[in-house]
Amino acid sequence: MKTLCCSVLSLLIAAFFPSGWAQPALSYTSLNSNFLDGSNRMLGWRFSVTEDVNVSAVGWFDWDGNGLNLSHEVGLWNTAGETLLTSVVIPAGTTATLDSGFRYMALGTPVTLVTGQTYIIAGYDVGVSGDPHVWDVSLSGFNAHVNGFASDPRISPEAAIGSVAGSFGFPTGTTGDARTVLMGPNFVVDVVPEPSVTTLLIGSGVLAFTFARRRLRKENGEG
């Protein structure tokens, strides 16, 4: 009975929540080069979302995949009121999970981003003996960008953050140029299930359990 119930529920979940819907906000196909700034900065990007999403993990760019030279505190802010929604320290070394060029730490509680709001993801980057970063487009005199840059269709990057800072805190300004992101920080987004879908899944689970229980009782000659 337990096996049958689990199988039915797995099929229902797969139908309503396709595999792979949890995606990094930013991705790329290959590296051109990297850049290590000489200044300490709050580094990242400002963005909005086209539909409500949950942030389930936050990461930092590991350009060679061999581990981070330094730890990086990364924050996620709602620009309205400069409200800090969550912050995570991505540790130095290889402790954090490496996935597609970024080392991630899962959030204990996912953070919901709401359509129509503007957000900033940024982290403290030490410019000397730190970790190189890259950006989305090449500028005159620079080549530290990624090839095949893409953002999740639910995420709309708007401006690169690169303000000089003495410590972790709300970024005070953008780079003011053609770049829309500095990577730096990244995050993983998951779909926020509609209440009607959640209710349907619960109801379907109850029906599956009832069906399996009746079948087992018949097999045991209980009526």
Domain boundaries, the chain: 1-17+194-223, 20-192
Determine the Cα–Cα distance for residues 102 and 165; give it in Å rounded to an integer.
23
Residue 57 and residue 104 in contact, taking contact as beta carbons nearer than 8 Å: yes
pLDDT of 172 > 60? The answer is yes
Q: Which long-range contacts (CB under 8 A, 24 or more apart) does 213-222 make?
A: 213/1, 215/1, 215/4, 216/1
CB atoms within 10 A of CB 65: 11
The pair of three-digit structure tokens given for residue 28, joined into one six-digit string: 């790329």
Determine the Cα–Cα distance for residues 116 and 105; give it in Å rounded to an integer.
27
| Mean pLDDT of all residues in 50-70 | 97
Comparing CA positions, the residue from 174, 177, 154 lying closest to residue 162 is 174
- Calculate the CA 6 to chain-centre distance: 29
The matching CATH number, chosen from 3.30.1370, 2.60.120, 1.10.3470, 3.40.50, for 20-192 is 2.60.120
**What digits encode the pLDDT tens for the residues 81-111?**
999 999 999 999 999 999 999 999 999 999 9
| Mean pLDDT of all residues in 8-23 | 46
Comparing CA positions, the residue from 194, 53, 187, 193 lying closest to residue 117 is 53
Q: What angle do CA 63, 118, 18 make, to 5 degrees?
A: 65
Mean pLDDT rounded to a whole number for the chain: 84
More confident residue, 37 or 85: 85
Locus of tokens 């998951």? 190
Comparing CA positions, the residue from 21, 61, 44 lying closest to residue 153 is 21
